[in-house]
Structure 1
Amino acid sequence: MNKNFSFIILTFNEEIHLPRLLESIKGLSAKTYVLDSGSTDDTVKIAASYGAEVKTNPFVNHPKQWDHALRNFNVDTPWTIGLDADQLVTPELFKILNEFDDEKYVDVSGIYFNRRNYFQGHWIRYGGYYPFYLLKMFRTGNGYSDLNENMDHRFIVTGKTTIWKKGYLIEENLKENNIDFWFKKHERYSDLIAEEEMERVKGVRYQSTKPRLFGEPNERKAWFKNLWWKLPLGLRPYLYFSYRMIFQLGVFDGKTGRRFHYLQGLWFRKLVDQKIKELRRVRD
């Protein structure tokens, strides 16, 4: 059994994704924990067949689900790796993990993985989507889930972090090949984000990470979020979409990629702003 790290995975009806992920990490011989949200397909059976320890917990949002996972699994390795079910470890990242030497990271608390995101079979290479660094590996007991987020989830650590730029995760939600699934999912997400922004205005939520434009990836994201919240509702989706398509070269992502940037970068952001305006009218 791997003595360096363990995996935690969140699932909900992931029979289409979970075998792909578990196969990609099987050779690492690492203890694997799965927190399921009440799947009605074969997700739990698949997890058990790979030797994973499975627990269930009702889903509220991703940050709270990750918090529950970190608090309720007895991880006994120095490092924990948190993955989403629609991700998989590439051979390049597998090699880095397989050769991981804890002694070389004695002063490090967290490690960022690079990610390649795919939409309907197409790699989203531009528009700010690659390289894209996610803090996925952290010292057990140090990393925690940022509960000041209502939809996006991120891990936070105390101490130094480092970035692995060469190996990367692949993230591809095959359910999104059905565009109706994508729309329904983002309808739910828009409600969570609109509510979150309203709570930030009231001071109920705040940034857990110090915003720094030239800081580590989580700090840069916090800086851009601070900027985003200051922009006018209704206008900011167009500013963001233009920035993504022109300055971040999203226009070169091909037909499928451009559709993704439109849906995720403009349509979805406009929907969020509309729902914020509705909440304001109801509550004022």
Structure 2
Amino acid sequence: MEGKRKRKLSVAIITFNEEKNIADCIRSVETVSDEIIVLDSLSTDRTKEIAKSFSKVKFFESPFPGHVEQKNKAIGFCSNDWILSLDADERADDSLIQSIEAFLESENVLADGYKIARLTYHLGHWIRYSGWYPLRRYRLFRKNAATWVGENPHDYIELKSGSVGKIMKGDILHYSFIDFSHQITTINQFSSIVAYTRYAKGERFSFFKTIFKPFGKFFEIYIFKFGFLDGIPGLWIAIASSFSTFLKYAKLYELDRKQIERPSNIRKEYGKN
């Protein structure tokens, strides 16, 4: 099958303590990849051992300066012109693998980047509303035509000026949270990163935003993005999203009032290049 291909593919994955996820992530793309770059930020579990057990994996280690910075660093380690970027808790489904295979075998390339939908499994359901699906983002792209940008930890690929983008069939399957407790832990961590990043850029505490933004977020997710169609999980997602919005501003308050220098749950190397 690989003999028919007109181009080679690198898969880029960043990791930190992902021993429960990394093997399934790698297996999902083994057949279409020519190399799999795993850039690890000094895991203390078996992530390194598991990743290096796969013959196509090239394993690198680096302290973690931030999601955007680390993912761009992973791109730099890729030796092929085309890159598929995945998180360790993501998998490529069968339809996506077929689409990528067809792309690698095609004579002509019609775009510099391809957006792929992501389908998240949470609270025993595939979440198809709530603003979580299809949530298409560029994930397959030409190396010199794209870069990771955004506000940490909410990163995304941006194509460079003049580049052409298209949509690719298939889904990235996202096993984001073990359970609701895991979601709350993640919200706590990510809201700290957002508050810390925004404060460093000059944003300051706003009482008005702290009070009203969480309500707006709930109605956005549950009503305007049809979260109610996801049943009870959709309601939990809307409430959790509202809580996450509150936490960002509450932590800005701590930073703005000089009560803390940085949230206690941010890794010490975060923000250092």
Q: Normalized against structure 2, the TM-score is what?
A: 0.83
The code of the aligned residue for 1:57 comes to S
Structure number with the higher helix fraction is 1
Cα separation, 2, equivalents of 1:104 and 1:129: 32
SS at match of 2:247: helix
Task: Quote the offset at 1:197 in angstroms.
Answer: 2.3
Unaligned runs of 5+ in 2: 260-273
SS at match of 1:41: coil
Task: Quote the offset at 1:164 in angstroms.
Answer: 2.3
Cα separation, 2, equivalents of 1:282 and 1:40: 32
Pick from 4, 18, 24 the counterpart of residue 22 of structure 2.
Answer: 18
Moved more, 157-166 or 59-68: 157-166
Identity in percent: 27
Q: 2:117 touches 2:170 (CA, 8 Å); kept in 1?
A: yes
Q: What is residue 71 of structure 2 aligned with on the other side?
A: 66
SS at match of 2:60: strand
Distance 1:144 1:165, change over 3 A: closer
Cα separation, 1, equivalents of 2:219 and 2:251: 22
Matches within 5 A, 1:1-284: 3-51=7-55, 52-71=57-76, 73=77, 75-100=78-103, 101=105, 103-106=107-110, 108-146=111-149, 149-158=151-160, 159-164=162-167, 166-173=169-176, 176-201=177-202, 232-263=209-240, 265-282=241-258
Distance 1:110 1:165, change over 3 A: closer
The code of the aligned residue for 2:133 comes to Y
Q: 1:9 touches 1:33 (CA, 8 Å); kept in 2?
A: yes
Cα RMSD over matched residues? 2.4
Aligned residues: 250
The code of the aligned residue for 1:241 comes to F
Moved more, 125-134 or 152-161: 152-161
The code of the aligned residue for 2:45 comes to D
Unaligned runs of 5+ in 1: 203-228
Per-residue deviation, residues 9-48 of structure 1 (Å, max 9, x unmatched): 1111212111211121122142111001112222112211
Task: Quote the offset at 1:251 in angstroms.
Answer: 1.2
Cα separation, 1, equivalents of 2:173 and 2:124: 11
